[in-house]
Amino acid sequence: MVLADSLLDALRGRFAREFAWVAAGQLSTVLTRLVGIRLLTELVEPAVFGVVGLTIGVSVLARNILCAPILEASYRFFAEAALEGRISEHRAVLSGLLRIRALLAGGALALGGAAWALWTGAPSAAWGFAAVALLTMLESFRMFEQRLLNAGRRQKLHAGWNLADEALRLGCAIAATQVFGAEAVWVLLGYAAGVLLGIALFWRARVRADAGTQDPEWTRRRRMEIVRYAQPLSFLAVVGWLFNFGDRYILAAFVGTEPTGVYVAAYGLASQPFLLASTILGLTFRPVYNAAAVQRQRGREREVFVVWLGISVAVSCAGVVLMTWLAEPLTALLLAEQYSGAAELLPWIGAAYALQACRQVFDAVVYAQARTNALVVVQLIAAPATLLLYLLLIPTLAALGAAMATLGGMLVALSAVAVLSGAVPRLLFRPARGDEEIPS
């Protein structure tokens, strides 16, 4: 089927309805997040905002090492479990693994915070890490449930939960800072309270299925498959964290938490439009692509890949142009006056996330092939290059150097995954024969 036919096909039926729900949910979520950035930058000083960003970065590291591999496996193996009628068993295996890892992540953060407080003589640090430990465990559970909703193509509920979560965490963070004070620990506890309220609100929306006949042998095999699939992703999380979060820690070491707070605010603002676009496309296209890959429908794989990549490139290019043109008005509108230095950073960070949006398509191909070792190789190529750029550019250019280095690192990562995925020759230039056609 030619590209034009694929585009027309994508605009009809269930796929179109799913795309509409994903787009509406993500757009409203990002708008809420941008409002949150504006309100929080009015309420807290840049130094406090910097501490919040740095603390959440540590949370992301713990969650990505221990929990994210299981979250990714829940997505990857859902299509197979659905075909075999074993969604309940699939859920049980994953939730058991995730529960243990989430507790380990939270415990490690709490203990690490206590040790840091003793070493620095700052008792408040222990409370901050306790808050982020709670947030990490709640976030892991929420993300698991939302991954299953998206994998099951229940996009309406997925969109509603996303929006509710963002609004609730914003509201609780603002309320906490207003009642208890504009300190990092209250922002973090507000986030945790918002996530918990969202879980309670959508508790009945979880993906469930009748238990049916339990097969211990199937459960054992699936657990082994998941553990094998997840192992490289734990290492990948460490390298990826250095790639995505190392800039703010190096920046804080060289110039302090106040400029880092401005950088974190700029990062959040510039990345959101591109994350919005890539998330909408990913949540819509990836379940369809995974289903085609599992069923070995090469023609269908090609169609989804071409349309997904084509839209990603077009949206990314338009986004970079707009971000460059509107950098100063956006900064004035969406950030408090004391964060005005963020304007010069927006085009660089926006361009970096435009490349990230395109990279997501190639990452999905690798995940569908269960070749997680290839993603480790990508990060082993990209992370050292990015770290070198950080060390070269941040000491002399401060926040601008961090933004420029992030762009360079994203370019290296995109180039590496595009080559290692083999997607271009396999899905664009190699003819597919004997594929079944499936409805949209």
Of 6, 146, 158, 124, the residue nearest 55 (C-alpha): 124
> In this structure, is residue 287 part of a structural domain?
yes
Query: What total number of domains does the chain contain?
Result: 1
157 domain residue, yes or no: yes
- Please indicate, yes or no, if residue 316 is contained in any of the structural domains: yes
Report pLDDT digits (tens) over 22-78. 777 778 887 888 888 888 888 888 888 888 888 888 888 888 888 888 888 877 787
> Six-digit token pair at 250?
């190096």
Do the domain assignments include residue 438? no
CA distance 365 to 347: 28
Position 440 in a domain: no
Tell whether 56 is covered by a domain. yes
Question: Does residue 32 sit within a domain?
Answer: yes
pLDDT digits (tens, 9 = 90+) for 103-149: 999 999 989 888 877 887 777 777 888 898 999 999 998 988 888 88
Q: Burial level of 296, CB count in 10 A (0-12/13-18/19+)?
A: exposed
Residues 192-201 pLDDT 10s = 999 999 999 9
Question: What kind and span of H or E run contains 293?
Answer: helix 257-294
- Report CA-CA distances (Å) from 290 to 77, 109, 118, 159, 305: 9, 34, 48, 20, 11
The span from the CA of 321 to the CA of 188, in Å, is: 34
**The two structure tokens encoding residue 387:** 């770290």
254 in a structural domain: yes
Residues 433 and 279: their CA atoms lie apart, in Å, by 31
Are 394 and 251 a contacting pair, CB within 8 Å? yes
Residue 11 has pLDDT above 50, yes or no: no
Could you report the per-residue pLDDT of 270-328, keeping only the tens digit for each? 988 898 888 888 878 888 888 788 777 878 888 888 899 999 999 999 999 999 999 99
Question: Which residues 6+ apart lie within 8 Å of 179 measured at CB?
Answer: none
* Residue 328 DSSP SS3: helix
Counting beta carbons within 10 angstroms of the beta carbon of residue 264, is it exposed (0 to 12), middle (13 to 18) or buried (19 or more)?
buried
Residue whose C-alpha is closest to residue 137's, from 235, 234, 59: 59
Question: What domain range is 400 assigned to?
Answer: 3-429
